[in-house]
Amino acid sequence: MRKMNFPLVLLSSMVFIAGCSSSSDGDTQGGSEEREINYLSNRTANQGQPRIVLPIMEQYQEENPDVSLNLETIEQSDIVQRIQLLTASNALPDMFVYESAQLNDLIAGEYIVNIENAFEEADMLDTVRPAAIDLMQQLSGTGEMYAVPMELNIEGFWYNKEIFESLGLEEPQTWDEMMEISDVLLENEIQPFALAGQDRWPITRLINAFAVRYYGVDAMQRVADGNLSITDSGFITAAQTIQEMNDNGYFGQGVNAMDYDAATGSFLTGQSAMYYMGSWALGEMNDENQNHIGGPENIGFFNVPLVEGGEGTLEDYMMNAGLITVFSQAGFDESTRDWFEYLYTHYADHAMSEHGMVSGLATSVEPEEDDPLTQLVLDELEQAESSALWFEATFNARKQELAETNAQQLIGGSMTPEEFMGALED
Amino acid sequence: MEKVLGNKKTILFFVGPALLIYLLLLIVPSLWSIGYSFFDGSPIRGFEFVGFANYTTALSDSHFIDSLLASIKYAAFVTTGQVVLGLALALLFVFFLQKYSSLVRTLIFFPVILPAVAVAQLFSKLFEYSPQLGFVNDLLVTLNLDGYVQAWLAQGETAFGVLVLMDIWRSMGFYAIILYTGLIDVPDDVIEAARLDGASGFRLITSIVLPMIRPILLSAVIFSLNGTLKVFESAVALTGGGPGNSTTMLTMYMYNTAFSYGEYGYGSAIAVYLLIMCLIVTLFIYRFARKNVA
């Protein structure tokens, strides 16, 4: 017993600790020939963007067998935290998805590639849709594009054509007309709107839609720049309008308990007539197992209607790029650069032909004939002259949480429009 | 054996590894966190020493105060419910269900071993409002109490109530078992003597049984208070802190601050406040217990 000494215990414990500590020192710089590109996403290999990127890599490998792509999937809510830690230890993945509102630290520290320059050097900048460039430039807050618009969604009101036709209703041009339509629908015992209040952001999207029509497309940008106060009367009216819409029963009962799936279901089973959502919901609308209102042919779309006396026009669209994809500067070597060019030469066509997905890159293929909604989105994109960001796009994480949390209280009636906007003032 | 245990090195040998792991996994991160609470910044921007600024910010942060009050309110309701109902169940086991108590104990203990997330799913279905009415609302309709049908989890007050109810249901079995072990230690002859002296029912319990299981009752209260002040997963799973911030507890605010907002320093300061709060509560109850003994 006596001979067992303390240093030995200490030593064995230290071995244990060493085993626990980080073993992911990143062997990316291994051989000069083999290159493994690390790709961090919130989607798995057969979802979202990776299901388009991975097959392109297979194609690429036919000529470049030494390059491979290593996809790692993590929860969306963990991305910011993970990337912050990886940044601190200089181990950023070569390409990764990120929350657009938190880009500024990565840009300021020169951790990520200036995508606008990269596209320009590859002579590919003209393949990016102008609306997408505009959106990406707004998102980075620097006037330059730091992320690739691998997805491009327009947002607006989807509606049930059959219900509209049976009641002799037409697409509204103004917000007031939309309210009149809602009253007609209520009289006929149809819920005017589906709204996923439990997910919170659908509420602020509506507030934003009104505000953008009131102040024009750069409403939230002006707030971020300090040229417009968020407690200005137009914003108060916006919040008040959404609150009244709920008080009138336009969103049905128990909005705050309604999640995304339930709201989508309500629209796709004909319980509600209109649904403000982004075009990412096309997947559900095209899914015959979910769409019980006569398929995609029965769904129409109208842009956010105008507000009386407002500055916004019907050529302004609410847009969204999903989670954005950025490239780390440290990993942007010759191999990655070559892969980057190859990927974005082929990405848009793959996305469209395989999945009917619209990206911010121009495509040379047409959507399938049985996919009228994708065609509709493309047509609307053609008309888009400028794009507006969503309500929280320029907010930091804390303010975003505040806006979304309070939005539930606003339509629940426990917060006034003045309090709602006041809380968001700096 | 005594000789072996008398040797300091041997003691160290036995205790050392466990102590070391304890130090590494518990004490070091705690100290680390306390250290962080004096800094501001993120791993990307770097950290900057700010002294007690994080602590003073908290005092004027209405969200901190709100979530602190929510935590205290929740702890008060749930601890009372857990311990009182736990005690009632334990008394039921001992005095009324002697023969069948093992079956009943198993049934009542069952929710304790269920994961919080599963229980939250169960309750959100029970209190569902849309797309279809859950069991509770259905029951109200059946009983012709349509006026009470509501979106329970979509309104602050009722969501809080459902959360409290859920956590009491989930863990009262645990406290029933703890208190039960105390109760079966109460000697039968004492109770018999008290009965002969004419004490029965309520009097018997308050004058004889409760004083005799006092130490274990106090442990149960301390357990419960510390557990409820640190509630996290059940609130996250049931309501996610909403609607609004009606069920956002201090722990969730701490988590959001540190990991969603990336304010590691401030988040750590909130964690330290939580630590202090738990310490105060525990010390207070100990003090209270000792005074009563004296």
* Displacement of CA B263 from its chain's centroid (Å): 26
Q: For residue A15, what pLDDT is reported?
A: 43
**Residue B54: helix, strand or coil by DSSP?**
helix
What SS3 class is residue A152? coil
A85 to B43: CB separation less than 8 angstroms, yes or no: yes
Using a CB-CB cut-off of 8 Å, the residues of chain B touching A397 are 260-262
Instruction: Give yes or no for a contact between A105 and A119, defined as CB atoms under 8 angstroms apart.
Output: no
Cα B163–Cα B169–Cα B175 angle in degrees, nearest 5 = 120
Cβ–Cβ contact B285 with A under 8 A = no
Calculate how close chain B gets to A103, using CA atoms only, in Å: 11
Measured distance CA(A279)–CA(A286) in Å, rounded: 11
With 0-12 CB in 10 A as exposed, 13-18 as middle and 19+ as buried, what is B231?
buried
Per CB-CB distance under 8 Å, the chain B contacts of A253 are 129-130, 151
**Positive or negative torsion for Cα A283, A289, A290, A295:** positive
CB contact under 8 A, A254 and B129: yes
d(CA B241, CA B248): 4
For residue A55, the distance in angstroms to the closest alpha carbon of chain B comes to 33
B288 has a chain A CB within 8 A of its CB: no
Contact A272, A266 (CB under 8 A): yes
Alpha-carbon torsion A7, A8, A14, A18, what sign? positive
Collect the ranges in chain A with pLDDT lower than 70: 1-32
* pTM assigned to the model: 0.81
Which of B64, B130, B155, B255 is the best mutation test for A, with the most CBs of A within 10 A? B130
Residues, chain A: 426
Contact of B133 with chain A, judged by CB distance below 8 Å, is answered with: no
Assigned token pair, B47:
């950290």
* Whole-number Å distance between alpha carbons of A401 and A422: 15
Say if A424 is an interface residue toward chain B (CB within 8 Å): no
A6: distance to nearest CA of chain B, Å?
7
Cβ-based neighbour number of residue A55 at 10 Å: 14
Asked whether the beta carbons of A382 and A303 are under 8 A apart, the reply is no
Q: How far is A423 from chain B (nearest CA, A)?
A: 11
Would you call B241 an interface residue with chain A, using a CB distance cutoff of 8 Å? Answer: yes
B244 contacts on A by Cβ (under 8 Å): 405-406, 408-409, 412, 414-415
Q: What is the pLDDT of residue A323?
A: 84
Segments of chain B with pLDDT less than 70? 1-5, 292-294
Q: Do A262 and B43 touch (CB under 8 A)?
A: no
Q: Please spell the DSSP secondary structure of B124-146, one letter per residue.
A: HHHT--SSS--HHHHHHHHTT-G
What was the pLDDT predicted at B2? 63
pLDDT for A11: 42
Residue A375 CB coordination number (10 Å): 14
Which CA distances in Å does A201 have to A47, A96, A402, B95, B208? 23, 24, 11, 54, 57
Question: Which of B36, B44, B160 is the mutation pick for testing A, counting most A CBs within 10 A?
Answer: B44
3-state helix, strand, coil in chain A (%, to 5): 50, 15, 35
Q: Do A80 and B262 touch (CB under 8 A)?
A: yes
Bridge partners, A275 (sequence order): A158, A194
CA–CA separation, A409 and B154 (whole Å): 10
CA of B241, closest CA in chain A: separation in Å? 9
> CA–CA separation, A283 vs A45, rounded Å?
17
Q: Do A102 and B242 touch (CB under 8 A)?
A: no
Q: How far is CA B60 from CA A153, A405, B63, B206, B230, in A?
A: 40, 20, 9, 44, 22
Instruction: Report whether A192 contacts A250 (CB < 8 A).
Output: yes
- What local confidence, expressed as pLDDT, does residue A18 receive? 43
What pLDDT was estimated at residue A3?
Answer: 42
Contact A299, A25 (CB under 8 A): no
Do A364 and A345 contact (CB within 8 A), yes or no?
Answer: no
User: How is residue A393 written in tokens?
Assistant: 């796009």
B138 CA to centre of own chain: 31
Which residues 17-76 of B have a C-beta within 8 angstroms of A? 17, 20-21, 24, 42-45
Q: Do residues A113 and A328 touch, judged by C-beta distance below 8 A? A: yes
Residue A174: per-residue pLDDT: 96
**Which pLDDT score is estimated for A385?**
82
Using a 10 angstrom Cβ sphere, with 0-12 exposed, 13-18 middle and 19 or more buried, the burial of residue A399 is middle
Q: Which residue of B129, B243, B256 is in closest CB contact with A408?
A: B243
Say if CB A387 and CB A217 are below 8 A apart: yes
Point out which residues pair with A159 in neighbouring strands. A274, A300
pLDDT value at residue B293 = 57
Using alpha carbons, select from A231, A219, A373, A218 the residue that is nearest to residue A297.
A373
Q: What is the pLDDT of residue A25?
A: 42
Partners of residue A17 in chain B, C-beta under 8 Å: 24
Minimal Cα distance from A257: which residue of B? B154
pLDDT digits (tens, 9 = 90+) for B57-108: 999 998 899 999 999 999 999 999 999 999 999 988 888 887 777 888 888 8
Instruction: Give the separation between CA A116 and CA A238, rounded to whole angstroms.
Output: 35
Apex CA B256: angle with CA B254 and CA B258, to 5°? 70
- pLDDT, residue A5, reads 46
CA atoms within 13 Å, Cβ hemisphere of B119: 21
In the three-class reduction of DSSP (H, G, I as helix; E, B as strand; rest coil), residue A303 is classed as coil
